[in-house]
Chains A and B, each alone.
Chain A
């Protein structure tokens, strides 16, 4: 039985360590109750499918620090080329793909390729060596520690239950405030 999105993020919260965590879409609404530090960046509003690319840039600029991107499957489908870019520019980027086969924030319409797209296969074919699939909560609990440590890039697919009728998420604070918090934590002035 697939895990819930909330359960998947609870496991992530227990294993994220000092990594930066970038959330997108439904995860934006769920994550602040689990973690709300300056290293938690709710990428909302975002550019469509852009979180893995933003995370890659951040990871390249901060090579000593890991960056976890919690992406949706629909978002991933919009930016599949980013897998090739991530493979070509190794960094400590941990890309989690929340796979529920739905565009959840728009009401739950199926994505193109729902239930048949093999994201880890795509990632492997793009040249990313460390790929994982976690089909249920027990597997994710057992494997999260390994998946979220060691050299990146990593792509991990988390199969979660789809939920219909979700509202568009809201970030925990305005973008400018988020960027200021993150900048202070990284000791960077943009």
Chain B
């Protein structure tokens, strides 16, 4: 998993103002660094569809939020993604941890998450890129800046 301090530094440099999240055990390691950065406000929500709607409101109000969730939450949040990204056409940016993907790449796993994440993103017409640990936090921030410059919704997938 990407280092939390490096991620937060990269997000700060990219102008992110809010992180709206429900963490998993990997993303959750970023929490201390997020709380230590005064220029980024951490918004904890109760379900992932809510995260997308809160981020949509933040964007409408002129902020620059990031939605940080696990792929399981992406599955749950389809209607919110459909509405905020496609009906309202808001350029939301998602960081999505893909549970068990590292194991899936090595061979069969009992976890169905890796096999559904990309098809779901295709179905919701949300462009995405993978950011591997070896690429570092800079790659995540670069993907965010690119999407923001283009005014497009997009996601980064983090293998877990």
Which residues in A have some Cβ–Cβ distance to B below 8 Å?
45-51, 53-62, 79, 81-82, 84-85, 88-89, 175-176, 179, 182-183, 186-188, 190
Contact = CB atoms under 8 A, between A and B. Distances in A.
Nearest to B45: A85
Interface residues of B, number: 33
B58 interface: yes
A53 B53 contact: yes
Nearest to B90: A190
Contact of B58 (A60, A82, A85): A60
A57 B88 contact: no
28 contacts: A47-B52, A49-B49, A50-B50, A50-B52, A50-B84, A53-B53, A57-B55, A57-B56, A57-B58, A57-B60, A57-B61, A57-B63, A57-B65, A58-B58, A58-B60, A58-B61, A60-B18, A60-B58, A60-B63, A61-B58, A62-B62, A79-B50, A84-B46, A85-B46, A89-B44, A186-B60, A188-B62, A190-B90
Given A89-B43, A175-B89, A179-B89, 8 more contacts: A47-B80, A47-B82, A50-B53, A50-B83, A51-B53, A81-B46, A85-B46, A89-B44
B146 interface: no
Contacts of B61: 57-62, 186, 188
Given A48-B79, A176-B89, A53 B54 contact: yes
For the residues of A in contact with B, the DSSP-based class is: helix
Contacts of A54: 53-54, 56-57, 60
B57 A58 contact: yes
Contact of A47 (B49, B59, B63): B49
Given A45-B87, A183-B60, A190-B60, A60 B43 contact: yes
Nearest to B86: A45
Interface centre among A49, A50, A55, A79 (most CB of B within 10 A): A50
Nearest to A80: B46
A49 B80 CA distance: 9
B91 interface: yes
